[in-house]
Amino acid sequence: MSNTHSSFLKEMGITEWTSRETLSEPTASLELARPESLNTDQNASPMSERNSTGKWWFFGAKPQGDTQTLFNNLIRVLGLSSDEWEWKNPADNLSQLKIPENGFPLVAFAFGGPSTQKITGERDPLPQLRETVLALNTGTDDDIPVIASFDLTQVVANPKDKALLWQDLLLAKSVLQNI
């Protein structure tokens, strides 16, 4: 792990971190990290496609300034490439959202209570919605898991919430890996 990753994780309030290289199958985890391994050919088996990290949809107010820096750091630490995530507006028509046809798993991550309430149809305040796997209210039969967290402006203003934001991101990552 580079010093940049390490210092950012410390800033997020995370003191211990286990590198993927220490897993029992280090070659498999290293292979996943290489960009060329993300390009699967047409004859790839569904099992090899499941090794992808999947797709992330982020909902909330588009980050700017300090929140943009925080968001970029989150993307970097999660190890997401530009084709593995999208920013979505909660005010958009959710029934028009297209699920990736490549079969990769998908998770939605909502920043802030209003965004979460808008995309899930839930009425509870954010503290009751956090640490729970919700469902995206698209009006279709698609079950897309949603994880609620703090608005990025709140996290920038209240640095102690960074650790809670990180917990929410880890929950989303866990959900994505278990789909």
Q: Where are the domains of the chain?
A: 53-177
What's the pLDDT at 34? Answer: 37
* Residue at 28: amino acid letter: A
What's the pLDDT at 111? Answer: 97
Under a CB-based contact definition with an 8 Å cutoff, are residues 57 and 106 in contact? yes
What's the pLDDT at 17? Answer: 56
What's the pLDDT at 52? Answer: 54
Under a CB-based contact definition with an 8 Å cutoff, are residues 114 and 122 in contact? no
What's the pLDDT at 89? Answer: 93
Q: Which two tokens stand for residue 124?
A: 């509870």
pTM score, whole prediction:
0.71
For helices 66-78 and 3-11, what crossing angle results, to 10°? 120
C-alpha 55 chain-centroid distance: 8
Torsion of CA 53, 130, 144, 48, to 10 degrees: 20
What's the pLDDT at 113? Answer: 95
Under a CB-based contact definition with an 8 Å cutoff, are residues 153 and 167 in contact? no
CATH number of 53-177: 3.40.470.10
What's the pLDDT at 12? Answer: 67
* Residue at 128: amino acid letter: Q
- In the predicted model, residues of the chain with pLDDT beneath 50 are 23-51
What's the pLDDT at 100? Answer: 80
